[in-house]
Amino acid sequence: MSATTSTRPPVRRVAPARWAKDNLFATPFNALLTLIFAPLVAVVAWWFLRFLAVRARWEIVETNLTLYIVGAFPRDQLWRLWLSLAILAVVFGLIGGLVGATTREAAIAAGRPLTTTRWDRVARLGPPALLLVSLLGFARTFTPFVLTAGVVALGVATSLLARRLPGAVRRSVPLIAVLGIVVALFAISGFGGVPRSAWGGLLITMYYTIGALVISYPLGILFALGRRSSLPMVRWVCGAYVEFFRGSPLITLLFTGWLVLPFFLPADFSTPTLVTRALTIFILFTSAYVAEIVRGGLQAVGRGQWEAAQALGLSPWKQTRLIVLPQALRAVIPGLVGQAISLFKDTTLVLIIGQQDLLAIAQNVTKQDEFLGKGYIIESLVFVGIVYWVASYWLSKESQRLEVRLGVGQR
């Protein structure tokens, strides 16, 4: 064992009885609240689980599973989606491996524990794995099992490989990731593929979410830096942009992009598709909130960090890129992840401009002849709600895990 790893502090494992005493019965008031709400939570959980396992009629999901996931996407072109998923598995495997290796090295250098308990792994991966197994259980053929297993294995193998990449290669991973996402999109629409106007369901929801996050986060960081610029014009323009989009309801901006924007374009200018306009609105709206979150992180960095960077003779660009910005982003991880979760749920608003996203599909499938007027809307909305909750929960748990590894909130 190396000298570096030998100094690693052990992980404290708290017994269930000790945890309950510290968190549920620490004081008489806490004990009273526990005794009052524990039965209520148990009853609600029992009712919900009984509904899922016994009372719910999942025929509507089983019959329309493909519709929930891809909408009106041509069924003979589904191989494009599987190819795109394989590319994205490599992309996110690279990102996950890079982040894991970086945070591991930072934790070892700071003497923080790295070992996770079995319960931690179950809490992180249990709900997504259970949802994936449930979706495969609704499938009527064996092909999705094989393809899903291949995509998951590819992502895991890429993540393990990325953890062993040398430092010089790691620095190029963000560029490779962006190129990979572009290639994944081109695999769906390129070479006579399926236009985005034919996308729907969970596919278009994830497209809006990932596309807006990839573009709006760097854009928001630039606006946050612009608001702290020493140039008055840059500071005023960035401030006006942020305040305008933060003060405008997202639903109003979507209506503007849908109905008003074409009237402001020249007559000979080709009007962007509805999907492009909606994605642009999501990018502009999200980048304003990201800018304000990052600006708060920049203000949290002490003045002494700037002065130390200046004393080292670093240029203003290097001061920001190497010293200040990493500390600011580290401090606002919860806010950034919270904004990502908010964007993921806000994509449901495209329903009002005629987009067939996951929520719109959940409502429309109940109008099919075999399900019309039979109350299947409950099962349909519960299914969609579980999908949204699992994705949001997983992002939240990964954020907490990253905070622990980076020592956020610790000295």
pLDDT tens profile 247-292? 999 999 998 888 887 777 777 778 888 998 999 999 999 999 999 9
d(CA 117, CA 114): 10
In the predicted structure, residue 408 carries a pLDDT above the cut 70: no
Q: Which two tokens stand for residue 237?
A: 């323009």
pLDDT of residue 104: 73
| Of 386, 270, 404, the residue nearest 330 (C-alpha) | 404
Domains and CATH numbers, the chain: 56-72+194-411 (1.10.3720.10), 74-193 (no CATH)
In the predicted structure, residue 4 carries a pLDDT above the cut 50: no
pLDDT tens profile 366-402? 999 888 888 899 999 999 999 999 999 998 888 887 7
Q: Which two tokens stand for residue 392?
A: 């949001």
Cβ within 8 Å of residue 85, ≥6 positions away: 151, 184
Q: Are 223 and 242 in contact (CB under 8 A)?
A: yes
Calculate mean pLDDT across residues 188-204. Answer: 87
Confidence tier at 14 by pLDDT (50, 70, 90): low
List, in sequence order, every residue forming a beta bridge with 357; answer none if it has no partner.
Answer: 201
pLDDT tens profile 197-228? 889 999 999 999 988 998 999 999 999 999 98
* pTM of the model as a whole: 0.85
Q: Which two tokens stand for residue 219?
A: 């854009």
pLDDT of residue 84: 92
Kindly report the average pLDDT of the chain as a whole number.
Answer: 85
Confidence tier at 5 by pLDDT (50, 70, 90): very low
pLDDT of residue 404: 74
